[in-house]
Structure 1
Amino acid sequence: MLVDRVLQASWLLSAVVGLETRWLQQPIDHNSPASGTFSQRYLVDAKADNGGPLLFFCGNEGDVEVFANFSKFLDEAAAALQGEVVFAEHRFYGQSLPFGLDFSLDHIRFLTVEQALADYARLITFLTASRQRKVVAFGGSYGGMLSSWMRAKYPSLVFAAVSSSAPLHFDRVGGSFFKLMTDAAEEMDSGCADRVRMGFAALEAASASSLQRAFGLCSPPLDLNELVLWARNAFVTVAMGNYPYAGELFGKGLQAWPLRAACRELHGHKPLESLAAAVGSYYNATGKVHCHNISREYRDCADQTGCGTADAAWGRSWDIEACRQIVYFTSTNNVTDMFPPRAWGLEELSQYCSGVWQIQPLSNWFLPWLSSVNTSSRIIFTNGLLDPWRGGGVMQSLSSTLVSLQIPGGAHIYDLAGDHVDDVPGVRAARQRVLTMLRLWLGMPHTAELVVQRSVFGAALRAMVPPKTFEVSRSRSRKWDLEVKSISRDGQDCVGACHWVFKSTSRSIPTDLESRSMPLDPVELWSKTRSADAHSRPSWSVPSARPCALEQWRDKAPAKLESKQLLAGPSYWQSHGNGQGRYGCSAGHLAASTAPAAPHRHQTSRPSTEQASRLDRRGRWRDGASYTSSLRASSLFIGTLEEEQIRGRHSGPKFSPTAAKKLRDLTTVILTSR
């Protein structure tokens, strides 16, 4: 499917450096322990003894060493979280074969998601028996599904989960996969989709000898449909692995942005030869393949995105899973996508699966699992915006602890790869934010630092945000926390963005954040809790707490409160009473400002000359008020950009509400832990 068809050819299956191979005896059937056992392989960093969490990688459809070699982000996470990494191999894959290579019908009935999750739960219990510690499950693609299901099914064992590129909404994949792949090709190279269509039209009209010559086949194709699927598979693979750097990720010497490279091969004058060149950019990236044997390079199966090659043993296991439980209907129509029409619905899938494996697809099997994930907590879902699988992914945060991160410029499971000098900014931001949230959930002491990751609107954002970071020491954060408590109403903590930030920068940060019913990051908090009426007091929508009266803070606030009107936008500066006062966070307080009241949130007039004149060339206040010296309201303003007029310096660009929303959506503001 999803990932191993991309990775299996990629890495030499040698021992993973720094990891030790171990084995655990597992029941073949967890519902009947007397059924016998098999040896499950797992890889562990034997030298790690940091006392931190166990980072448990849920292996998916393939050899566990493949995933360990690829998923270097876990090494980085282990260093940041002082944890230990374990990679577990999925039953019926790699060397964890209950019946060897015997895939008889009586044996394959034990290849189910439930049995695999039970394997992982038993392994986690074994690994944590001698030392109690929190477990964070990781996984990508099918493994990302498994990590989220582990958190939902075994919440007492798995404290949190990171689910990368996991299409949990099975019903959404069928109508979106090939369309999103086509959209990605167009984004890489305008006109690519039409050139692919012309190439396939020429393929279907060509003679067998012409096809053999154009594609460099070892023999004339006997099955035109097989040739079409083989050629389509090349585009699927480079779309999923469309990373910004060259390397041996696919074992074929692919260049950077391989989908773009394939599209550019289509610029020739002859559609058939151009298509052959594009397909060859994957199958013969090294230029060393003398001829292509289609039946060896491609395996048709239940998963129409591919099951590897004829020689890949994992393909049979995945074919069984795609027939039984991991059911996707991925048709093509040549209208919304760029490939020849091919129906692949329940009827076609059932006919194939019953004929090959005597299995009937469970097309609704995923629904209760999806429901259990939706009511869980502490799961981070990441999805690349160039990944064709994102149509089935969790693309919106479901709660403060079911968080969705989108990665502009990201392909399939890109964020699990290790740091690379050519990484796009979005993936670096996503990785950092994953670590930030995990540290918060794990209750690890930290210092808060605001990091603004710039989007395609970077030039304007640089004009608005100083390049320095904002840091708050632990001692000061504790002091601020006490100050906020001391001015709360009836002894109850004040709620709002500032108080949340202070709590998150304190040693005493609660580990059970979800009970606070607050969004996890400032962007979400401001967009969800701000008042809709620009001329009313803020109304913080936190169910379990009462809003504090702003009047209490007028006399206790610092003498100065200044923040950039250019950044804040009128939805942040909520007017009070007769509209003469403004309130916001500054140096640890909610405080009053004597600056002029903000315009109505839909007013698009430029800031006053007085306001503009008080900003120096670097966007700081000329009167000495420190904009960058501490964690201030300015650090949260990016969350107010939706439907606002945004400017850089007073002479900078102006954005429409639509552009402003895009800027907010593509800009990540995170609290990074150290």
Structure 2
Amino acid sequence: MATPPFPLVLSFLILLSLSSSANSYPPRSSKHAPRFLGKFSHLHQPTDQKYETRYFEQRLDHFSFADLPSFRQKYLINTQHWLGPSRLGPILFYCGNEGNIEWFAANTGFVWEIAPRFGAMIIFPEHRYYGESMPYGSREIAYKNASTLSYLTAEQALADYAVFITELKRNLSAQACPVVLFGGSYGGMLAAWMRLKYPHIAIGALASSAPVLQFEDIVPPETYYDIVSNDFRRESISCFNTIKESWDIIASKGEENDGLNQLTKAFHFCRKLDSSEDLSDWLDSAYSYLAMADYPYPADFLMPLPGNPIKELCRRIDSCPDGTSTLQRVYEGVNVYYNYTGTVDCFNLDDDPHGMIGWDWQACTEMVMPFASSKNTSMFPEFEYNYADDEERCLKDYNVKPRPTWISTEFGGHDFKNVLKKFGSNIIFSNGLLDPWSGGSVLEDVSETIVALVTEKGAHHLDLRAATDEDPDWLVDQRESEVKLIKKWLQEYYDNKRATFTA
């Protein structure tokens, strides 16, 4: 699901079409929603985890009997610590997101670290239409048009996982081995939804930073950008105000005769900007990703960043000498995200060369997430959500109309707490309140078995990252709580199996 922001420095940057809120430059009624992190999946992939890379032959359409070509789904497997079928060794299964599966494996150290404690097998399957798991044999054909892309849905991806798990367990004579699902961001949504749709396949799910409620009118559309804005406001009011003031200045400068050249030089782009909106999009992405990756220690999850990167960005903005222009302050600050190492001479704004990002298709069909920016509480330009704008764009790009109510029809969302209390179990929704996606997730316990683990200073699925010596106590405690809950699920499963066997 999902959508907010997601360089190399930006070679696949998915730009957001944000406009200024100056009176002379009225805001658009809507814009592209922010992206998740999948766009970074071709970057930062070194990993010391040991796994075998294998492929599984998948049906293209699980919900028809049409004679369609199959495709090879890539997956990573590690059985180093697995107890095996005779001892009912569990299977830890990460629901692959919108990108290369190696990146998610490298950035989900928690699963690798707990596998020895449970004697577990580890599986990381790749999501269809991403990485190497391309129907029709190639990305170019798979992404050709709406007809070939029509099988890129969350429902088909979940069916892939269900079929894969079933066949894997059968081939290993491990039908009785319990499966625990994991996922972060869109992958977290898939993990939660899979536990609900296929309860016989997996005994529980850890859904980290999973905005399963970011649809229709379930949460206010301003929530995402309000959280990003609050992350900056809590560090520095002056920093917040500088960023808020910059959008009108950028738009005004872009209308001047030599304005685009001046903006290009001021922000050190490698080629001349086509419009001031390109610069605004570039800054919007940086601020949003910084909120998602506002980790308490240095990390290169997206880009090489210092610990508490928003604090560092605001320190740079605020420490500029008196008389420094707003644009120069913003440039100094945004370098924390785009050039913290100081090795980049100029910045690129190149978009995806194929113009067919998989998530764009998903956002144009079923992953319709309303976003807006409020005038009073947001540091971003004001804009309202307008479904008609989404429909117009999607008809232009793919000749399809979005289905904004489908996800809540398929997976639920309205009256979520009461429904899950009656029909769901064994799901952990973990969120950090610094993460802008937390506003669309489950932040309160639903029942004794559907639990919300919320941390005030956590960012985007920080709990799934590998443990470090710099982890704060609250993060260590959060992960230990997750382990205890998973252990409880497994023990209950084993107790039930033992009772059935001895009855």
CA-CA distance at 1:162 after TM superposition? 0.6
Supply the AA of the counterpart residue of 1:145.
Answer: M
Structure 2 partner of 1:625:
none
* Pairs within 5 Å for 1:328-343: 328-343=369-384
* Pairs within 5 Å for 1:441-456: 441-443=489-491
* 1:165 correspondence with 2:209: yes
Name the larger-Rg structure: 1
* Pairs within 5 Å for 1:112-151: 112-129=153-170, 130-131=173-174, 132-151=176-195
Structure 2 partner of 1:637:
none
Q: Look up the SS of the partner of 1:144 in the other structure.
A: helix
Structure 1 partner of 2:279:
227
Flag the 1:173–1:87 CA change in 2: closer, same or farther, 3 A: farther
Q: Look up the SS of the partner of 2:452 in the other structure.
A: strand
Q: Please point out which of 365, 384, 387 is paired with 2:435.
A: 387
Structure 2 partner of 1:626:
none
Q: Please point out which of 367, 370, 377 is paired with 2:412.
A: 370
Q: Which has the higher contact order (CA 8 A, sep 6+)?
A: 2
Supply the AA of the counterpart residue of 1:48.
Answer: H
Deviations 1:326-359 (Å, cap 9, x if unpaired)? 1112222442210123444312111111110112
CA-CA distance at 1:423 after TM superposition? 1.6
The answer on whether the counterparts of 2:38 and 2:97 sit within 8 Å (CA) in structure 1 is no
Q: Please point out which of 449, 455, 464 is paired with 1:416.
A: 464
Deviations 1:614-636 (Å, cap 9, x if unpaired)? xxxxxxxxxxxxxxxxxxxxxxx
CA-CA distance at 1:173 after TM superposition? 6.0
Q: Distance in 2 between matches of 1:312 and 1:259?
A: 32
Q: Look up the SS of the partner of 1:191 in the other structure.
A: helix
Flag the 1:209–1:10 CA change in 2: closer, same or farther, 3 A: same
Structure 1: gaps spanning 5 or more residues: 300-309, 446-507, 513-674
Q: Distance in 1 between matches of 2:346 and 2:269?
A: 5
Q: Distance in 2 between matches of 1:270 and 1:169?
A: 40
Q: Distance in 2 between matches of 1:400 and 1:6?
A: 36
Q: Distance in 1 between matches of 2:244 and 2:354?
A: 30
Q: Distance in 2 between matches of 1:319 and 1:344?
A: 17
For normalisation by structure 1, the TM-score amounts to 0.61
* 1:78 correspondence with 2:120: no
The answer on whether the counterparts of 2:82 and 2:90 sit within 8 Å (CA) in structure 1 is no
Deviations 1:368-405 (Å, cap 9, x if unpaired)? 31258723111010000111111100011111111110
Q: Distance in 2 between matches of 1:266 and 1:312?
A: 36
Structure 2 partner of 1:209:
261
Q: Look up the SS of the partner of 1:245 in the other structure.
A: coil
* 1:273 correspondence with 2:317: no
Q: Distance in 1 between matches of 2:492 and 2:44?
A: 35
Structure 2 partner of 1:248:
300
**Deviation larger for 434-443 or 327-336:** 327-336
Q: Distance in 2 between matches of 1:231 and 1:19?
A: 38
Structure 2 partner of 1:36:
69
Q: Distance in 2 between matches of 1:236 and 1:444?
A: 41
Deviations 1:41-68 (Å, cap 9, x if unpaired)? 0000043322421010000110000000
Supply the AA of the counterpart residue of 1:40.
Answer: Q
The answer on whether the counterparts of 1:38 and 1:96 sit within 8 Å (CA) in structure 2 is yes
The answer on whether the counterparts of 1:169 and 1:392 sit within 8 Å (CA) in structure 2 is yes
CA-CA distance at 1:444 after TM superposition? 7.2
CA-CA distance at 1:284 after TM superposition? 1.9
Q: Distance in 2 between matches of 1:11 and 1:135?
A: 29
Flag the 1:50–1:312 CA change in 2: closer, same or farther, 3 A: farther
Q: Distance in 2 between matches of 1:352 and 1:342?
A: 17
The answer on whether the counterparts of 2:58 and 2:160 sit within 8 Å (CA) in structure 1 is yes
Structure 2 partner of 1:492:
none
Q: Please point out which of 52, 56, 60 is paired with 1:24.
A: 56
Q: Look up the SS of the partner of 1:381 in the other structure.
A: strand
Q: Distance in 2 between matches of 1:216 and 1:394?
A: 41
Flag the 1:153–1:361 CA change in 2: closer, same or farther, 3 A: same
CA-CA distance at 1:364 after TM superposition? 1.1
Supply the AA of the counterpart residue of 1:271.
Answer: T
Q: Distance in 2 between matches of 1:381 and 1:260?
A: 27
* Pairs within 5 Å for 1:439-518: 439-443=487-491
Flag the 1:362–1:16 CA change in 2: closer, same or farther, 3 A: farther
Supply the AA of the counterpart residue of 1:198.
Answer: E
Supply the AA of the counterpart residue of 1:28.
Answer: L
Supply the AA of the counterpart residue of 2:77.
Answer: V
The answer on whether the counterparts of 2:81 and 2:115 sit within 8 Å (CA) in structure 1 is no
* 1:58 correspondence with 2:95: yes
Supply the AA of the counterpart residue of 1:366.
Answer: I
Supply the AA of the counterpart residue of 2:370.
Answer: F
CA-CA distance at 1:189 after TM superposition? 3.1
CA-CA distance at 1:170 after TM superposition? 1.8
The answer on whether the counterparts of 2:79 and 2:120 sit within 8 Å (CA) in structure 1 is no
- Identity in percent: 32
Supply the AA of the counterpart residue of 2:402.
Answer: P
Structure 2 partner of 1:452:
none
Deviations 1:155-175 (Å, cap 9, x if unpaired)? 111111110000011232622
Structure 2 partner of 1:11:
44
* 1:175 correspondence with 2:222: yes
* 1:48 correspondence with 2:81: yes
The answer on whether the counterparts of 2:224 and 2:436 sit within 8 Å (CA) in structure 1 is yes
The answer on whether the counterparts of 1:10 and 1:248 sit within 8 Å (CA) in structure 2 is no
CA-CA distance at 1:235 after TM superposition? 0.5
Q: Please point out which of 452, 460, 470 is paired with 1:404.
A: 452
CA-CA distance at 1:84 after TM superposition? 1.2
Q: Look up the SS of the partner of 1:347 in the other structure.
A: helix
Supply the AA of the counterpart residue of 1:341.
Answer: E
Q: Look up the SS of the partner of 1:290 in the other structure.
A: coil
Supply the AA of the counterpart residue of 2:412.
Answer: L
Deviations 1:193-245 (Å, cap 9, x if unpaired)? 21211222322222223211210122332212222111111101111111111
Structure 1 partner of 2:15:
none
Flag the 1:15–1:255 CA change in 2: closer, same or farther, 3 A: closer
Q: Distance in 2 between matches of 1:323 and 1:436?
A: 39
CA-CA distance at 1:15 after TM superposition? 7.2
The answer on whether the counterparts of 1:197 and 1:334 sit within 8 Å (CA) in structure 2 is no
The answer on whether the counterparts of 2:251 and 2:277 sit within 8 Å (CA) in structure 1 is no
Aligned pair count reads 434
Structure 2 partner of 1:288:
343
Q: Look up the SS of the partner of 2:234 in the other structure.
A: helix
Supply the AA of the counterpart residue of 1:261.
Answer: E
Flag the 1:202–1:143 CA change in 2: closer, same or farther, 3 A: same
Supply the AA of the counterpart residue of 1:408.
Answer: E
Q: Distance in 1 between matches of 2:95 and 2:229?
A: 30
Q: Distance in 2 between matches of 1:176 and 1:239?
A: 13
